[in-house]
Chains A and B, each alone.
Chain A
Amino acid sequence: EIVMTQSPVILSVSPGESATLSCRASQSVANNLAWYQQKPGQAPRLLVYGASTRATGVPARFSGRGSGTEFTLTISSLQSEDFAVYYCQQYLDWPPYTFGGGTKVEIK
């Protein structure tokens, strides 16, 4: 089973600043990596797939990078609606599909 590790657990950022979230896989997943955003009381929302392709309707301020075992999600110029929990998920080696533990982006 591929273990996904996200860091940091909590990221405190001021509105308008940028945030970089990290996701590490215990073995290579090539570019089979997705990012999701989840707000309190809501379902997860797909942001990025294929490590760097934004999903439909996702603002350009969200950008994904990486391949192999190291990935990042950068949110430039954070808006109020961007404060949420973010999860990465690998889909190369399954079952099981595995998610990271999440990074909470909170207002500083």
Chain B
Amino acid sequence: EVQLVESGGGLVQPGGSLRLSCAASGFTFRTYAMSWVRQAPGKGLEWVSIIGTSVGNTFHADSVKGRFTISRDNSRDTLYLQMNSLTAADTAVYYCAKAEGYCSDGTCYRYFDYWGRGALVTVSS
């Protein structure tokens, strides 16, 4: 059974930093791309970041580019999201998601087939 368990959320002051972790189990972690998706209180879903299976293959939404960094440790089956320079607009539940899909002509097309329960990040003074 696929399981994704986020941790590291909490209350942080504006301008502060936080690192989220996502412990994966039930599948061969190193062979799947992984992503973070967030949801502000009472709002819809917003894709944040994705990391491929290869080192350095990362992409971020413009809203977090330069502030957030996605990474992974395949030896620990763990996904990370380092969040710096946080603002109130970053307040959200952050979901870790396993990416599935297909690749064609060097481009991969992915949806998210399993999600964790989420970690709440609150940015407030």
Contact = CB atoms under 8 A, between A and B. Distances in A.
A76 interface: no
A7 B118 CA distance: 26
B44 A87 contact: yes
Interface in B50-94: 50, 59-62
B111 A43 contact: no
B95 A44 contact: yes
B46 A43 contact: no
27 contacts: A32-B109, A36-B112, A43-B115, A43-B116, A43-B117, A43-B118, A44-B45, A46-B111, A46-B112, A46-B114, A46-B115, A49-B100, A87-B45, A91-B109, A91-B110, A92-B109, A94-B50, A94-B59, A95-B60, A96-B61, A97-B35, A97-B47, A97-B110, A98-B47, A100-B44, A102-B44, A102-B45
Interface residues of B, number: 24
B105 interface: no
Nearest to A45: B115
